[in-house]
Amino acid sequence: MGPVTIAVDSYGPVTDNAQSVYELSLIEQVPNVEAEIRKDFNLPVNFERAKIPARSQRRRRQHLQSHRETRADRNRGRRRHHP
């Protein structure tokens, strides 16, 4: 009976998450949802960005930061100090 109980307990959260994912996948079809989100939560709405996995967003931010640092290093070398 132990393994059955564990299986039932571990199955519950998975189905709860699946239901939430399904509901969120339809959110763009809800009329006036963007205005409602902005009003209720004071958040910008960008559904396209939300579809990008967090790992990809993090890599992109790291890449951009690295690029900015490299450019800043190059610019430091070009600056001329006048007495």
User: Residue 38 pLDDT > 60, yes or no?
Assistant: yes
SS3 content of the chain, % helix, strand, coil (to 5): 80, 0, 20
The pLDDT score that the predictor gives to residue 49 is 81
Which helix (H) or strand (E) segment holds residue 32: the answer is: none
77 or 81, which is more confident?
Answer: 77
Give per-residue pLDDT as tens, 3-27: 555 555 555 665 667 777 788 788 8
Domain ranges of the chain: 2-77
The reported pTM is 0.42
Residues contacting residue 49 through CB under 8 Å, at least 6 positions apart: 57
